[in-house]
């Protein structure tokens, strides 16, 4: 049989062709990587400047890969550190009554952020966001505004009814007593002032009453029926002043007694749930008394507004 001869040059040309294809493929891949790295670096800077830190971080992770050119990789690693330091973060949480929940999905502006809660901070973009929590078919939404430099802000929602106050410490709500409200006894000064006016008025009544009666007795003894009009008027004036003083004294003493009896009770008598008596100041303002002269005597009245 005739033998087949394979030319060494033909085999070598095939190897060279395969190597050329491989080199060309690798060069094209490197070119694509360089272009992707450069594009990611440019987008990362723009997103960072706009306060869109989450998307900026994603792009920085692309341009910080080992396949990227050294200058681009170095810059992206530096920018990534800056974003990690300055980007605001929040910590999501959820409760069922007083119980912390972990199997909760969280969405920010419709995009899934986490499948479960673990207490770790999550980077956020600046501005207003809608945060949605999902737990066993239930959803809760919160609107938050994220500012620059904000770190580890707690955003927590509650599923179900919150626990009554006191149950977290193992106490029944009925055992928590309301604090007592302390009151102060009303001042007795206004009552003393009014009472002093009453005492003075009664003293005036005694002085002018006795003086007027003495004058009348003298006129009856000395000039009954022919006394000077000025003497008669003087005696009548004293009696009139005595009657007015009597009315003022009675009314003033009555008001003073009222103020003393209606003073605000002491601390031990005032408790939550009971209406406190009106303060002495308000009573002093609302109590009024009037005294006036009438023919042959005087009249007085006292009134109070409640």
Calpha distance 65→76 (Å, rounded): 9
pLDDT higher at 171 or 41: 41
Q: Cα dist. 9→2, 18, 22, 123, 228 in Å?
A: 21, 14, 20, 62, 170
Output the pLDDT for position 92.
Answer: 96
> Which tens digit of pLDDT belongs to each residue from 80-97?
998 888 889 999 999 998
| DSSP labels, 27-61 | HHHHHHHHHHHHHHHHHHHHHHHTT-HHHHHHHHH
Which residue is listed with tokens 């007027």?
212
pLDDT band at residue 121 under the 50/70/90 scheme: very high
Whole-number Å distance between alpha carbons of 123 and 70 = 27
Q: Which residues contact 100 (CB under 8 A, 6 or more apart)?
A: 93, 94
pLDDT of residue 150: 86
The band of 68, judged by pLDDT with boundaries at 50, 70 and 90, is very high
CA–CA separation, 216 and 219 (whole Å): 5
Top mean pLDDT of 25-29, 124-128, 276-280 is at 124-128
Q: Kindly report the CATH number that applies to the domain delimited by 89-164.
A: 2.60.40.1120
- Give the contacts of 197 (CB within 8 A, at least 6 positions apart): 248, 252
Query: Could you give the CA distance from residue 2 to residue 173 in angstroms, rounded to a whole number?
Result: 108
H helix count then E strand count, the chain: 6, 10
pLDDT of the residue at 284: 44
Residue 176 Cα distances to 98, 268, 275, angstroms: 18, 20, 21
pLDDT for position 162: 52
Q: From 109, 93, 117, 118, select the one nearest 54 (Cα to Cα).
A: 109
SS3 14: helix
| Average pLDDT value for the chain | 76
* H or E element that contains 77: helix 70-86
pLDDT at 56: 92
- Pure H helices in 149-278: 189-223, 229-261
264 versus 148: the higher-pLDDT residue is 148
For 250-260, how does the pLDDT look when each residue is reduced to its tens digit (9 = 90+)? 887 888 788 78
**Spatial separation of the C-alpha atoms in residues 207 and 247, rounded to whole Å:** 14
Q: What is the mean pLDDT of residues 260-278?
A: 52
Q: What percent of the chain has pLDDT over 70?
A: 67
Q: pTM of the predicted model, to two decimals?
A: 0.41
């Amino acid at each position: 049989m005739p033998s087949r001869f394979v030319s060494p040059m033909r085999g070598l040309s095939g190897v060279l062709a395969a190597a050329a294809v491989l080199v060309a493929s690798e060069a094209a891949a490197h070119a694509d990587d360089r272009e992707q790295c450069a594009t990611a670096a440019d987008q990362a800077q723009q997103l960072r400047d706009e306060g869109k830190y989450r998307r900026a971080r994603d792009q920085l992770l692309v341009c910080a890969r080992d396949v990227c050119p050294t200058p681009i990789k170095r810059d992206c690693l530096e920018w990534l550190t800056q974003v990690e330091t300055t980007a605001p973060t929040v910590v999501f949480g959820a409760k069922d009554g007083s119980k912390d929940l972990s199997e909760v999905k969280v969405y920010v502006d419709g995009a899934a952020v986490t499948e479960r809660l673990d207490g770790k901070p999550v980077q956020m973009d600046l501005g207003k966001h809608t945060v949605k929590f999902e737990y066993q078919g239930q959803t809760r939404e919160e609107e938050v505004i994220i500012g620059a430099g904000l770190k580890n802000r707690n955003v927590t929602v509650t599923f179900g009814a919150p626990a009554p106050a006191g149950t977290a410490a193992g106490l029944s709500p009925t055992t928590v007593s309301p604090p007592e409200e302390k009151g102060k006894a009303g001042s007795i000064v206004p009552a003393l002032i009014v009472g002093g006016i009453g005492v003075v008025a009664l003293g005036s009544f005694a002085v002018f009453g006795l003086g007027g009666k003495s004058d009348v007795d003298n006129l009856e003894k000395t000039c009954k029926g022919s006394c000077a009009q000025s003497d008669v008027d003087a005696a009548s004036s004293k009696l009139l002043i005595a009657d007015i003083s009597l009315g003022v004294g009675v009314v003033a003493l009555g008001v003073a007694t009222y103020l003393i009896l209606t003073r605000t009770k002491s601390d031990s008598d005032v408790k939550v749930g009971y209406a406190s008596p009106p303060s002495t100041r308000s009573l002093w303002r609302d109590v009024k008394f009037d005294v006036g002269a009438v023919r042959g005597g005087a009249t007085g009245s006292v009134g109070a507004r409640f």
